[in-house]
């Protein structure tokens, strides 16, 4: 196994192709907290393996993150690579394992990366529990970056305008917002939530931004979708918990899966 993260991703892509018997994939989706139950509605499962069978993947550390990768065929015959769970920065393994799935997917041929997550809603219009929200842009407050060295990547349009328009054609009721990522694993304080609202944040979570940057570096088009599972800390006075996040995911699984299936078939 290589110690170079880019070569390691190529090794993982090779192993993925031989494990699944497929030469390329049309799209990759990363299913975050609350999104794993939606995967079943995307299409027919062709194969599924634990990510730990591929070079460079860390075992899952979070309940609700299955740590498996599935190949699904959609109704229109597209091949989607679906990561059921992800590695987070707060697991303490560094940045490379966080973006390894995305780099592997692009190395395996995926030109579109769909990143999903659970998020706290910061604006009144984004506090409807169970609503999906398109990520229009992000603010990276993780203090990390997947790129090392003088590689200057343009981030003017991290989340593809074309893909956002396509999702809105499918479901015009979906709103858009700026996603702010903290490292976690603590949820935010009410003072931090007030700060984020002042900074122009609409959604808050602990993932996605590093993967989006790695995908852009690799030249892929990115679609980001948040599932609002709670109002940001302090906005309604209720404490936050991970079980509530998973429960919202279970309750909205079919709606989110059908939405993703339509998106994948129209890419
Ligand atoms: N903050 C951070 N991460 C989250 C939240 C939140 O309010 N909800 C779901 N994931």
138: part of which helix (H) or strand (E)? strand 132-141
Report the distance separating Cα 150 and Cα 123, nearest Å.
36
Q: Which residues are catalytic?
A: 188
pTM of the model: 0.96
Q: Of all protein residues, whose CA lies closest to atom 10 belonging to ligand 1?
A: 119
- Residues 4-23 pLDDT 10s: 999 999 999 999 999 999 99
For the chain, the first-to-last Cα distance in angstroms comes to: 34
- Residues 28-45 pLDDT 10s: 999 988 888 899 999 999
Give the Å distances, CA to CA, from 29 to 19, 26, 195: 18, 10, 31
Residue 33, Cβ density class (10 Å: 0-12 exposed, 13-18 middle, ≥19 buried): buried
Contacts of 158 (CB under 8 A, 6+ apart): 137, 138, 212, 213, 216, 222, 224
Q: Please give the angle made by the CA atoms of 21, 87 and 263, to the nearest 5 degrees.
A: 60
Report the distance separating Cα 114 and Cα 63, nearest Å.
21
Report residue 245 as tokens.
């996040």
Q: How far is the CA of 222 from the centre of ligand 1 (A)?
A: 21
Q: Which atom of ligand 1 is nearest to the CA of 233?
A: 7
Binding site membership of 34 for ligand 1 (Cβ less than 6 Å): no
Mutate to test the pocket of ligand 1, among 245, 246, 249, 252 (most ligand atoms within 8 A of CB): 245
Query: Within 10 A of 200 (CB to CB), how many other CB atoms are there?
Result: 12
Q: What is the pLDDT along the chain (267 residues), one digit of tens a residue?
A: 888 999 999 999 999 999 999 998 999 999 988 888 899 999 999 999 999 899 999 776 665 555 899 999 998 999 999 999 999 999 999 999 999 999 999 999 999 999 999 999 998 877 688 889 999 999 999 999 999 999 899 999 999 999 999 999 999 999 999 999 999 999 999 999 999 999 999 999 999 999 999 999 999 999 999 999 999 998 887 888 888 888 888 888 888 899 999 999 998
What SS3 state is found at 152?
coil
Report the distance separating Cα 140 and Cα 145, nearest Å.
9
């Amino acid at each position: 196994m290589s110690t170079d993260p880019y070569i390691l991703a190529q090794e993982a892509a090779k192993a993925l192709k031989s494990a699944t018997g497929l030469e390329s994939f049309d799209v990759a989706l990363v299913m975050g907290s609350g999104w794993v139950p939606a995967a079943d509605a995307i299409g027919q499962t062709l194969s599924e393996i634990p990510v730990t069978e591929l070079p460079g993947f860390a075992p899952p550390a979070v309940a609700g993150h299955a740590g498996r990768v599935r190949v699904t065929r959609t109704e229109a015959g597209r091949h989607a690579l679906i990561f059921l769970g992800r590695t987070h920065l707060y697991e303490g393994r560094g940045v490379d394992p966080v973006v390894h799935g995305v780099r592997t997917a692009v190395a395996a041929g995926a030109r579109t990366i769909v990143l999903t997550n659970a998020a706290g809603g910061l604006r009144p219009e984004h506090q409807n529990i169970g609503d999906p929200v398109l990520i229009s842009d992000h603010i990276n407050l993780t203090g990390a970056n997947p790129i090392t060295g003088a590689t200057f990547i343009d981030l003017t349009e991290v989340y593809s305008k074309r893909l956002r328009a396509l999702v809105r054609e499918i479901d015009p009721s979906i709103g858009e917002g700026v996603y702010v990522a903290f490292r976690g694993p603590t949820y935010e304080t009410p003072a931090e939530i007030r700060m984020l609202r002042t900074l122009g944040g609409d959604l808050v979570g602990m993932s996605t931004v590093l993967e989006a940057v790695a995908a852009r570096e690799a030249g892929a088009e990115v679609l980001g979708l948040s599932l609002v599972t709670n109002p940001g800390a302090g906005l309604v006075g209720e404490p936050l918990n991970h079980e509530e996040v998973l429960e919202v995911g279970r309750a909205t699984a079919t709606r989110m899966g059908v939405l993703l299936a339509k998106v994948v078939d129209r890419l």
